[in-house]
Structure 1
């Protein structure tokens, strides 16, 4: 290569344009350049639009989740014994709690513990206490055979529908003649009566004999009860015929006959199957309009005399009285005798009129 070619090649390697560059455009080294800030990209590499100064970012409201609580209810009696299985209610906190007010036969709601009107924030328990409802009492009457009280009435009390049992007097069980059917039972809303009737003589009672009529073969005393101590002022005449309603025998073997209004223990008598002096007609006692009820009726055909010259006759016991002046010892015929529940004794005459037994003398 000649000298001219060498110079030309050197001139081509250093062009003039490079030498004329301004210092204001000098590039910094790559290591000294400032970092380039780029907008972050989403995970899905979607482009992010620049926010406008006229637009506001919307507020996102998340839905509130409902909260619930439970209420456990216990229904128990005064001994804390459950009256039914426990009840559990569930509801949204703050909503109305509709408490079931349950009723139980024989009990009333006496107290409530931890009562709530709304479902609370936390689970809770409510206690309902019930007490027994008192029932009407049971009156126990201890009486003799005539219905008289041996002691003051006893009263049994308890809760409604609770069971009761009435007992005879202490030491008197061997002398009980009759006990009403309701000796045991349950307390109710109505007062009940239990009757114990005692026979202090320890008699053996029985029904009337098959020959139900007795003819007295001698004048015979009468008694209010089968006891020698209960003698009355009346005396039955010889050959009087009476109907027997029951009889009793003492431990010594003495026999007593119940004639309805009184008792007799004759030594001389004769029994008949029918009434030898009349028919065995059963007279019907009228249904009295007054407040007293008939306890016992005795039909008979017996002569008697009036004790007074002034006598009050009645259309029925205690009904429409009429007073008459009569001859002393006026004779009348008794058709039947009734005993009322106030223990008064009335005689109906064959004329249909009524008068109290105390105004007559049987003979």
Structure 2
């Protein structure tokens, strides 16, 4: 009886092995090409500050974390950081800290480098976008603008500059009989364009003669000169009016109290007067001068009185606008509010 020979496979060292067809039917290749990982964007106490993201990739492939710039925040740490796609049921946490941005300062200058308006300070959340613009009222004078007027707020102060071909002031023609009348207690300045008012204000309800005027070319503000180094802008609570003045002689003839108000030339009538006949002190600023008037609200004289100086007052007179003036021994007038009567 013949022997049946079963077919056997030998390994390279002569050992017997099972057929490959048996192995392939029982073993499956492990292939992980569907790894999903969730990325969270949270603040320091774990609150989500923007929508999470799910990323997918093949097992062990390189993982690129989707970083985000979030306005008002800066990335401070990463939890569960990984560089390849391996299963991670917890996810990756990008932790952001709240942070304020530095301001963007915008300057508006003329060709001489002088500011024609106050600097603008733009503020916003960190990484948020900003845009700067030229002054609307001076846009047609613009000769230079920042190369890029758009940007993002950062932790560093940024500066931008606009330059205009414009004279800050020009002469402004006024009527020779123009006065201002105060509608409130108003600030005055020692020169046009000044940002620092003088210590004292002009009182409510008083009238002041205007001697000349300057106009800001980029916004139309008019600066009125009230004599010496005293200026008031049209932005204050004032109105202007033309008051025709007559000669001193005519005023004396028209005044019902002419005998007690020598040289009053303004059209207001004198309603009261009182003899003083004593020496008093100028209360105005020590480093400045008070203007001497030939007549109240009339012509100014080149004579000046320094703050702290003593002057002799003959009498005081009150006009029908309720302003009170002191008649000095030398014939000049100054307002009584500047004296320690």
Max radius of gyration: which structure?
1
Q: TM-score, normalised by structure 2?
A: 0.31
